[in-house]
A and B are shown apart, each in its own frame.
Chain A
Amino acid sequence: MRCKICGGGGGGEGEGVCDRHAEAERRLREHFKVWTERTGLGWAEYLEAILKNERTGILVKEAASYLLQNGR
């Protein structure tokens, strides 16, 4: 199954993203707890902030963009 984010191989059965993007999404959700606690941002605002940040890894940006576009 192709990854819904990058089109590469290795997309998992459930979510349909490859291992690396699945890991990016896992980390995004994990760090959201830190962000909410420190900044009080909501999920969508958090994703926007992550997308704008130049330190964010490329896989995390791709995952954040996918999550934003798909309203997840």
Chain B
Amino acid sequence: MVHHLLVCEKPSAARKIAYTLGGSGVSRIGRGLPFYRFQKGGDTVTVVSALGHLYTPVQQGKGWSFPVFNLVWEPASGRRVKLFLEGIARLAREADSFISACDFDTEGSLIAFMILRKACGGADAKARRMKFSSLTRDELSRAYENLSELDTPVINAGMARHEIDWIFGVNVSRAIMDAYSCNTGRFEVLSAGRVQSPTLDALCRRDDEIDLHVPDPYWTAGAEIRFLSSGETAKAEYSKNPILMKGEGEGLRLRCEGSPGTVRRVEGGELTVPAPHPFDLGELQSEAYRVFGLQPWRTQKIAEGLYLEGLISYPRTSSQQLPPSIGFRGILTKLGTIEAYKESVGEILNYADSGRGLCPRQGKKSDPAHPAIHPTGIKPNRLGGEGRKIYDLIVKRFISTFGPPARKSFKTIEVELERGDVFKIEAEAVSDPGWMKHYAPYVRISGSSLPEAEEGEAARAEEVWVEERYTDPPPRFNQSSLIKFMERNGLGTKSTRAEIISTLYRRGYIEGSSIRVTELGRGVIGVLRKRFPELVSIGLTRDLEERMAGIEEGREEYSAVLLRGAEAIKGAFEHMISEFEAAGAEITNLVEGRRGQTKKIGACPSCKNGELIIVRSRKTGKRFVGCSNYGSGCRFSAPLPQRGVVKATGEACRECRYPTVLVTWGRTKSWRVCLNPGCPSRVRK
């Protein structure tokens, strides 16, 4: 009889795996560190869980210095981590077989490896791996019966990622914090990171483009065209839009209004719109943002919850492809038992049985570890609001991938007026919804009506208009477009992107759903651009990402990649140390100078000699107004709206004479706020 110890990534995964593999014979034991035990095939199986990463890289030896390149892996801090590690070590002594059952990706492989090596006394040497993409009975049983070797290249890639992130992030953060505190005598959290900093730099550049945008004027012309035989009218665009001279537009209007003309060309046809491919994580995040307005990190969290309940496959995947091995018909048949999908599933299966077969539309991206996100077919019991929305989106997308293509009819009509000016009518409408029917309401099935006209037919421009327009600045990033930008530029991985954006918000470097870089964020980037240009370079980060992927694929050596990372940044440290005082003054100037521009509100009405400033709480990350004499006992504070840009007006409130601020939200909304919480002007509202 063998005693197997299964190491899982999270307590909820351990519970699910234990009950799925062990059925009703599972005993839950222990309180602080719950574990599960059952008999299987004459063997004893103990399922235990980690709490995500229980080990983390730290510097060798003590002290606060930089740069540090010698790292060791030690237990993470915290009482629960200690409790879990002691419990796992105790259980490891009773076991004689070890199995990694963490999520099948880089982080999961590394979590289990560190626990097996360090808490289980070097058990990684004999441990084996369960590989699965969903927590269903079939897949877990298959993974348990077909154990493989530990995925060493993936583990090495994970270690390299964590160590390089430490070398970049911790060292650079320490360098700038040290230089700042030596110069000012104050401590301030100023952080940098291998992915965080190039992302923040890109956001700053976008902000600059918006703040420096000069709109150029241009004009567009349109007309209402009446077809004389049918009497139908349609809106048309001038064929030479845009018009670049002011007078030209007016001339066109005078020339064309009321002018007779002839239909010069009628062209029509049909477009095929193929079914969508299934979701990878990035696409799910961006679609959930588009249709529900859900932030990417939230979508990821909800999807992970659905996976842990066994309802969907592993969501941290880059794949947009579904292999037949997942059992298309089986999943669809199970989904067909859910009332909301019954009709769609019936139609898809009929379509497949009519000779087309069950062939999902495959996307371009693939992932060797996991298929695209798909439902498992397990019927959800109780799903909350957001969970239900994401589940519905995933199911409908999955069903749609098997659907027939949709068809759109389009028509272009060109009308030439008496003086040779040409106006064009373009219209399209869905003629056969195909897959769109199964993806509704997440896709719009509509279109404009197609006017009837024939070549040579007489027409007239009833009304002609010319509109003045201006060139637009580039749009601000939102969380969804930022994730896409990071993906395109090789910044971070599918699992880390949403978390990195959350960190930028938490640090107070960015704000708003339409993302704007704060003065603090801009100050930090100013320092990094000057002192550590390598760190804000997308090129270096992308190169390191490619090399880490190379470790995973066996093309690169772990130590060579680490060395490349350290070499890339070593020179910048040497340079900074040689100019430490100057660097400190510069950082102080940039950070405080930037802050000073916007954070001073006015004189404190409470202590009379302090200055009111905008402060961000270190604990909650929220901003409020406090007094610069806080250290001397003044406790004045006033709440601030957490959204929008806040600027001092320099004017006192008409009612109570307290300072006021102007809050700007978006392009057009702005309002004045008095800082006196008891001000009659606020009470009236």
Contact = CB atoms under 8 A, between A and B. Distances in A.
Interface in B566-610: 589-590, 593-594, 596-597
Contacts of B217: 35, 38-39
The DSSP consensus for interface residues of chain A is helix
Contacts of A10: 593
B216 A53 contact: no
A23 B212 contact: yes
A56 B473 CA distance: 8
Given A8-B594, A53-B470, A58 B214 contact: no
A54 B668 contact: yes
Nearest to B589: A9
B211 interface: yes
A48 B321 CA distance: 55
A8 B597 CA distance: 6
Contacts of A6: 597
A27 B589 CA distance: 27
Interface in A20-47: 20, 23-24, 27-28, 30-31, 34-35, 37-40
Nearest to A24: B212
A57 B476 CA distance: 12
A60 B208 CA distance: 11
A28 B473 CA distance: 14
Given A7-B597, A8-B594, A57 B211 contact: yes
Nearest to B472: A55
A59 interface: yes
A55 B594 CA distance: 24
B594 A35 contact: no
A25 B116 CA distance: 62
A68 interface: no
A58 B473 CA distance: 12
B214 A28 contact: yes
A27 B216 contact: no
A4 to B, nearest CB: 14
B244 A55 contact: no
Given A9-B589, A9-B593, A55-B473, A31 B216 contact: yes
Interface string B239-251: 0000011100000
Most buried by B among A23, A31, A38, A39: A38
A55 B209 CA distance: 12
Nearest to B246: A39
A53 B217 CA distance: 10
A18 B214 CA distance: 18
B667 interface: yes
Contact of A60 (B212, B218, B589, B596): B212
Interface residues of B, number: 26
Contacts of A34: 216
Contact of B211 (A30, A54, A58): A58
B215 interface: yes
A47 B593 CA distance: 28
B211 A38 contact: no
B646 to A, nearest CB: 14
Given A38-B244, A38-B246, A57 B597 contact: no
Nearest to A3: B597
Given A8-B594, A9-B593, A38-B245, A59 B216 contact: no
Nearest to B594: A8
Interface in B202-216: 208-216
B354 interface: no
Nearest to A64: B214
Contacts of A39: 217, 246
B381 interface: no
A32 B32 CA distance: 71
A8 B593 contact: yes
B214 A27 contact: yes
B216 A35 contact: yes
A33 to B, nearest CB: 10
Nearest to A34: B216
A60 B668 contact: no
Nearest to B212: A57
B246 A40 contact: yes
Nearest to A58: B211
Contacts of B667: 54
B620 interface: no
Interface in B305-351: none
A57 B218 CA distance: 18
B617 interface: no
A33 B594 CA distance: 33
A35 B218 CA distance: 10
Contact of A57 (B213, B589, B590): B213
B602 to A, nearest CB: 15
A39 B243 CA distance: 12
Interface string B624-640: 00000000000000000
Interface in B254-277: none
B244 to A, nearest CB: 6
A16 to B, nearest CB: 16
Nearest to A49: B217
A39 B216 CA distance: 10
Given A39-B246, A40-B246, A53 B594 contact: no
Nearest to B214: A31
Contacts of A55: 213, 215, 470-473
Nearest to A32: B214
Contacts of B212: 20, 23-24, 27, 57, 59-60
A53 B215 contact: yes
A27 B211 CA distance: 11
Nearest to A63: B212
A35 B470 CA distance: 11
Contacts of B208: 20
A57 B216 contact: no
Nearest to A30: B214
Contacts of A40: 246
A27 B245 CA distance: 21
Contacts of B209: 57
Contacts of B218: 38
Interface of B: 208-218, 244-246, 470-473, 589-590, 593-594, 596-597, 667-668
8 contacts: A8-B593, A8-B596, A20-B212, A40-B246, A53-B215, A56-B213, A59-B212, A60-B213
Interface of A: 6-10, 20, 23-24, 27-28, 30-31, 34-35, 37-40, 50, 53-60
Would you list the 5 A-B pairs with minimal beta carbon distance, nearest first? A31-B214, A57-B213, A55-B215, A57-B211, A9-B593
Given A28-B214, A54-B668, A55-B213, 10 more contacts: A6-B597, A8-B596, A9-B590, A31-B214, A35-B216, A39-B246, A50-B214, A55-B472, A57-B214, A60-B212
